[in-house]
Structure 1
């Protein structure tokens, strides 16, 4: 398969990583001296649900092993490799992603031809088996399914917390509104009392001033009357010398 990957890379159907290019070069150098591998059985391929002896990771593996600090930072951008590592997906001799890249390079073929080509490459190379890819894909599918369930649970918890927080905010607003309106009513009553008291005080002051003015007027008149009454004496009995002066 390494030679096929190298061929597809030269045809610009796929792009090899640095390690894959190095492995492909080493494989081509060793191909001339290495004996041809014996052909393996053509029925090594099984559907994922039919691979014997393979069990999926426990459903809670990803949920309990996923880094909490990553989930707390957001729901996006978690590397798939981190999800697989948290779920305990074992390393595979030939990861499923490599087979997917090979299949992408063979998309021009019909499904039957592409299937037969992969089986032929499997039979021609004893360094890997289709079952390795199937097993790896099964583990990763189980890990991603568990991670999706974890995201769903986290979102549900967030929704519940948001609903509770919103309810508390609204309750606090209602309580504050009642308290403020009560204070406003009390302040309005206090204002009315203060306005009435001020009006009474002003009326009392004005009444006092009016009484003082009336009293002063009466006293002035009394003084004027007494002065006029007293003037009769000097006017009638003033000495001649004093009158000349």
Structure 2
């Protein structure tokens, strides 16, 4: 066991302290047993945080939120020790851990094991909270999607109704414009026909007047030529 402790000390996994056997070396250790019944963390009465906040939590935040007490020898430290010996047989690993435990009176193997139990509970509770948060987020997202679809359908229906009304207005305006154009065209045609009739009448009447005055104009010219010139005044007068 002394050689094992020297190996662990050189690896930086343990530190040597005074005490132990008569020669100053750590006392021989044997395998250990840990109480298999872990303590239970108190159930948090705080409302569940939104899943986006839970996702942002680091492991220390998770442990703190769950109320995991600070350990003099955290489970992570024991985990690093065990991982450093993972190539060794399990019995050797347990003996090495027992040796580390015996070499340092500031902690006992129950400390990291207790810390591990607490953190297992905290991690399980965190995982359950994440699952519940995702389920809640799923339900809320589904409700929002349903609301968005309903809003879309209502808006599209309103727009289509407006388009229908606008098309009806457009159709009425086009029909009115066509009718007005036809009325204006008919009125112009009526005016043109009336004007043409008047023009024709004026031409006919004018020609009749020309025929009427023509004989008089031809007979009036010689008569005017036969009229005697007025007498000139005499010099005596």
Residue aligning to 2:102 = 123
Kindly indicate whether residue 111 of structure 2 is the aligned counterpart of residue 132 of structure 1.
yes
Equivalent in the alignment of 1:21:
none
Corresponding position of 1:113: 92
Is residue 64 of structure 1 aligned with residue 52 of structure 2?
A: no
Q: Please list the CA deviations of residues 114-167 of structure 1 after superposition, one character each: whole Å capped at 9, or x if unmatched.
A: 122212332343222111111000111111111111111111111111000000
- What is residue 186 of structure 1 aligned with on the other side? 165
Residues 20-63 of structure 1, C-alpha deviation per residue, up to 9 Å, x if partnerless?
Answer: xxxx7xx55xx4xx33267597464326xx14xx42213x43x8
User: Residue 155 of structure 2: which of 144, 156, 176 is its match?
Assistant: 176
1:223 is aligned, of 202, 211, 222, to 202
From the superposition, tell whether residues 124 and 73 of structure 1 become closer, same or farther in structure 2 (CA, over 3 Å): closer
Partners of 1:40 and 1:212 in 2: CA distance? 133
CA contact under 8 A between 1:122 and 1:129: conserved in structure 2? Answer: yes
In structure 2, do the counterparts of structure 1 residues 164 and 95 end up closer, same or farther at CA, with 3 Å as the change threshold?
same
User: For residue 240 of structure 1, what is the aligned residue in structure 2?
Assistant: 221
Considering only aligned residues, what root-mean-square deviation do their CA atoms show, in Å? 3.1
Name segments (4+ residues, structure 1) moved above 3 Å: 1-6, 37-44, 71-74, 241-244
Is the CA contact (8 Å cut-off) linking 2:73 and 2:111 kept in structure 1?
yes
**After the TM superposition, which residues 10-21 of structure 1 pair with which residues of structure 2 at under 5 Å, given as runs?**
none
Structure 1: runs of 5+ lacking an equivalent: 15-23
- How many equivalent pairs are there? 216
Residue of structure 2 aligned with 1:75, choices 30, 55, 72: 55
Partner of 1:46: 34
Q: Secondary structure of the equivalent of 2:46?
A: helix
CA distance change for structure 1 residues 120 and 243 in 2, over 3 Å: closer, same or farther?
farther
Taking the aligned partners of 1:115 and 1:87, their CA distance within structure 2 comes to 30
Judge conservation of contact 1:65–1:87 (CA < 8 Å) in 2: no
Larger Rg: 2
Q: Distance in 2 between matches of 1:36 and 1:191?
A: 104
* C-alpha distance in 2 between matches for 1:242 and 1:223: 32
| Counterpart-to-counterpart distance in 2, 1:64 and 1:41 | 45
Aligned to 1:151: 130
Whole-Å Cα distance in 2 between the matches of residues 230 and 197 of structure 1?
48
